[in-house]
Amino acid sequence: MKIKRMPVGMYLANCYILLDEDSNECAVIDPGGNTEIIKSAMDDLKINKVKYILLTHGHADHTESVVDIKNLYGAEVYINEQDYNMMKRRSYMYGNVDEAVDNFINDGDVFNVGKLKVKALYTPGHTPGGVSFLVDDIVFTGDTLFCQSVGRTDIEGGDFDTIIKSIKEKLMVLPEYTIVLPGHGDKTSIEREKISNPFL
């Protein structure tokens, strides 16, 4: 397994390439802009096909390059239906990429990327359709959980009590050694957040 992180777009949202090196299959998580940077990373990794585009949520800073990456690599786009509906309504801060969505993510869904099994964890609160992705001992948390912080909940569809419930019931129950790769900023771990996150 190889993971490449790229802060992209105006808000430096973390886009991740998740690659199974044996099969050369990959998924792109949250392509939030700067398509040329993402494509350059693909070229460096010698990837010419993306199996999935997996979206942790529907905000524009995490979805801006969805259509570009889909068109370039033939990827299927997945998002939770609740955030898809927010896009359809053209809710504030949500991306305008609903027509590119191929299917919906449900809690517990597993995406096979080569030999990697990527499990979806429904973690609403930052948005009503927030999802995290667990693969081995790594979890991609989008804007649900950050290093010593949590996602903002003052945008349409956000709810503070819900995000704290999601973090405690879906993320803090993971093994403490689990590495957290958030939607913005540096990586952390479940152990570190249990000890030092002031919101928890």
The CATH number covering residue 149 comes to 3.60.15.10
Q: What is the pTM of this model?
A: 0.97
Place of tokens 């649900």: 144
Residue 77: pLDDT band by 50, 70, 90 thresholds?
A: very high
**SS3 readout for 99-110:** HHCCEECCCCCE
Whole-number Å distance between alpha carbons of 101 and 105: 11
How many structural domains compose the chain? 1
- Has residue 199 got a pLDDT over 90? yes
Q: Can you give the residue range of the structural domain that contains 36?
A: 2-196
- Has residue 48 got a pLDDT over 90? no
DSSP, collapsed to helix, strand or coil, labels residue 124 as coil
Is beta strand 13-20 parallel, antiparallel or unpaired with respect to 2-8?
antiparallel
Place of tokens 């390439």: 17
Model confidence pLDDT, tens digit, residues 115-133 = 999 999 999 999 999 999 9
